[in-house]
Chain A
């Protein structure tokens, strides 16, 4: 099946540890995105990448890092510098054209204690 996979679905970490969230797509999409969602809120853009080896900061990039070494993969690292890392993290992908619809993965719920 074509789509976006995120793993794991639930992730628990201790405060002060870096953690990397996985996102893989087999839709042959050029663009990929990471969003964060807090309870009762809409999604906020963390980082996005329009092409391999290139990415841009979104609205809330502080405390996060990404890489885009392969077209299919866009991992997100939540660093210890992120003050409130507990959230629902969603990955998406789309064609590179400006109005392409975005396809979202199932999300990873990260809890940091």
Chain B
């Protein structure tokens, strides 16, 4: 799986959009971009994933650049409960079944009141 690079920490004001960048310049054609987040001392939570089109769900939007070398996770109206570590993960479709995820250190997003 391709490696990802994320800033170690970011601040965002409550009520504003939080934009979390991720660089994955070595991504290959069959690799998807996944985002998970982990609130302190809890298990990670799946947020969203995409291949090349932008995706949106009830939690967030995922914007992937046309060359797929980077992406941005957008939390449209951040709340204090969104304070967490956000992990960007690139994952290939093995076709043979589920396998584990490779987590980096992620971005610690702090929502300021």
Instruction: Assess the A104–B45 pair: CB atoms within 8 A.
Output: yes
CA distance A106 to B41 in the complex (A): 8
| A66 on interface, CB distance cutoff 8 Å | no
A44 touching B103, Cβ below 8 Å: yes
Q: B41 CB to closest chain A CB, in angstroms?
A: 7
Whether B49 sits at the interface, judged by CB under 8 Å, is yes
Partner of A45, one of B43, B95, B100: B100
Point out the residue from B93, B94, B97, B101 that lies within 8 Å of A43, measured CB to CB. B101
Closest to A56 in B: B99
Interface string of B63-94 (1 = CB under 8 A from A): 00000000000000000000000010001011
Taken together as a complex, chains A and B put the C-alpha atoms of A104 and B84 apart, in Å, by: 15
A-B contact count (CB 8 A): 71
User: Which A residues touch B94, using CB under 8 A?
Assistant: 98
* A107 and B44 alpha carbons, distance in the complex (Å): 10
CB distance from B102 to the nearest CB of A (A): 8
A106 touches B104 (CB 8 A): no
Shortest distance from the beta carbon of B54 to any chain A beta carbon, whole Å: 18
B101→A106 contact, CB < 8 A: no
What 0/1 pattern do residues 28 to 47 of A give for CB contact below 8 A with B? Answer: 00110101000011111100
Told that A30-B98, A96-B98 touch, could you supply 4 new A-B pairs with CB distance under 8 A?
A: A35-B100, A99-B32, A104-B45, A109-B41
Chain B: residues with CB nearer than 8 A to chain A? 32, 34, 41-46, 49, 87, 91, 93-106
